[in-house]
Amino acid sequence: MPNPLRHGEPKIIAIANQKGGVGKTTTSINLGAALAKMGNRVLLIDLDPQGNASTGLGIGSERRNATTYDLLVNESPLSEVIQHTDVLNLDIVPATTDLSSADIELLSNEKRSFLLHDALRQPAMAGFGFDFILIDCPPSLNLLTVNAMVSAHSVLVPLQSEFFALEGLSQLMLTVREVRDTANSGLRIEGIVLTMYDRRNNLSQHVEADARENLGDLVFKTVIPRNVRVSEAPSYAMPVVDYDPSSKGSLAYLSVAKELVDRHNAVKSRG
Angstrom distances, CA of residue 252 to CA of 2, 166, 205, 224, 248: 21, 22, 17, 6, 6
Closest CA to 149 of 180, 122, 104: 180
- Per the CB < 8 A criterion, the answer to whether 131 and 6 are in contact is yes
What, of ligand ADP, Mg ion, none, does residue 56 touch, CB below 5 to 8 Å by kind?
A: none
* Count of Cβ atoms closer than 10 Å to residue 170 Cβ: 8
* Rounded Cα gap, residues 115 and 129, in angstroms: 21
Q: Which one among 8, 20, 127, 129 touches ligand ADP, defined by CB under 6 A? A: 20
What, of ligand ADP, Mg ion, none, does residue 23 touch, CB below 5 to 8 Å by kind?
A: ligand ADP
The one segment of 22-30, 35-43, 94-102, 145-153 that binds ligand ADP by CB under 6 A: 22-30
* Count of Cβ atoms closer than 10 Å to residue 141 Cβ: 20
Q: Which one among 11, 16, 18, 24 touches ligand ADP, defined by CB under 6 A? A: 24
Least distance (Å) between residue 247 CB and ligand ADP: 10
- Per the CB < 8 A criterion, the answer to whether 49 and 142 are in contact is no
Q: Which one among 93, 226, 254, 257 touches ligand ADP, defined by CB under 6 A? A: 226
Least distance (Å) between residue 52 CB and ligand ADP: 5
* Rounded Cα gap, residues 271 and 255, in angstroms: 24
Site mask, ligand ADP, residues 138-157, x = CB under 6 A? Answer: -x------------------
* Rounded Cα gap, residues 125 and 107, in angstroms: 27
Site mask, Mg ion, residues 48-87, x = CB under 5 A? Answer: ----x-----------------------------------
Please identify, using beta-carbon distances, which residue of 76 and 249 lies nearer to ligand ADP. Answer: 249
Q: Which one among 10, 23, 32, 51 touches ligand ADP, defined by CB under 6 A? A: 23
Q: Which one among 17, 18, 25, 85 touches Mg ion, defined by CB under 5 A? A: 25
Angstrom distances, CA of residue 132 to CA of 4, 152, 181, 239: 11, 11, 25, 17
Please identify, using beta-carbon distances, which residue of 145 and 227 lies nearer to ligand ADP. Answer: 227
Site mask, ligand ADP, residues 48-67, x = CB under 6 A? Answer: ----x---------------
What value, to the nearest 5°, has the Cα angle with vertex 177 and ends 132 and 168? 85
Strands 132-136 and 42-46 come out as parallel
Residues that bind ligand ADP (CB under 6 A): 20-26, 52, 139, 195-196, 224, 226-227, 230-231, 249
